[in-house]
Amino acid sequence: MAAGTEVAPVEAPFARPRTLLFGTALATGAAVMFFGALFSLYFSVRNDTLAWGAEWFPEGSIELKPGGSLMSTFAMAAVTMAWAHYSSIHDDRIHGYIALGLTALLGIAAINQTVFYFNDIGLPIDHSVATTLFYVIVGAHMVMTGIAVLWIGLVLLRAFGGQATGRHQDLVISVSIFWYAVVAVYAVIWLFIYIAK
């Protein structure tokens, strides 16, 4: 630097209170507890039913393919969300838009698959305790996915407005926390309901 050049004093960057992140973490924790309760009830009732020698789901009623297909969708959506976060860190707005848009589309696809499966399964909700729990858990997860998709849409709009940048990543990180929770909850559904039944 040339001698005599005046350099403005560098101020310490303002530490943002990470309000949105903290609030999202709390809300996500509450949502996870909701599913934790449903899973606990599912396993508890299932254990009792099997211990009595009764049938849980009717033989062959829960197929692997729909659950696996949904898991693939959610796995891809987890990757696209990570892509969105990466793009946000590096101020790559175009990739950020594409990644968030793809994540939302995959979420909508997951909802579509769930609705299709509900129509296709041919298992009445009042067939047994097992089917009631199945529809409540999978249906509640569909609602959670819908909320996440709406949220992504909101973040996308704000990103278009220039509010999701490398210096202000809280928006994308917050929605990603919730989205990863959506994927994680589905992973449990896939493993313990679709596969282990």
Q: Which of residues 21-40 bind another protein (CB under 8 A)?
A: 22-23, 26-27, 29-31, 33-38, 40
Q: For another protein, which stretch binds (CB under 8 A), given 58-66, 128-136, 165-173, 184-192?
A: 128-136
Distance CA 57, CA 131 (A): 7
Nearer to another protein, 36 or 166 (CB): 36
CB atoms near residue 95 (< 10 Å): 15
Q: Which of residues 38-57 bind another protein (CB under 8 A)?
A: 38, 40-41, 44-45, 48, 51
Query: What are the two backbone dihedrals, phi and then psi, of residue 40, each rounded to the nearest 5 degrees?
Result: -60, -45
Nearer to another protein, 69 or 128 (CB): 128
Number of residues engaging another protein in binding (CB under 8 A): 32
Candidates 140, 142, 177, 188; binder of another protein (CB under 8 A) is 140
Candidates 61, 69, 72, 132; binder of another protein (CB under 8 A) is 132
Nearer to another protein, 64 or 115 (CB): 115
Q: In whole angstroms, how far apart are CA 147 and each of 31, 65, 127?
A: 11, 25, 29
Q: For another protein, which stretch binds (CB under 8 A), given 11-19, 60-68, 72-80, 83-91?
A: 11-19
Candidates 75, 82, 136, 187; binder of another protein (CB under 8 A) is 136
Q: In whole angstroms, how far apart are CA 111 and each of 31, 39, 103, 144, 148?
A: 18, 20, 12, 10, 11
In which residue are the tokens 């040339």 written? 2
Query: What are the two backbone dihedrals, phi and then psi, of residue 88, each rounded to the nearest 5 degrees?
Result: -65, -40
CB atoms near residue 36 (< 10 Å): 13
4 binds another protein (CB under 8 A): no
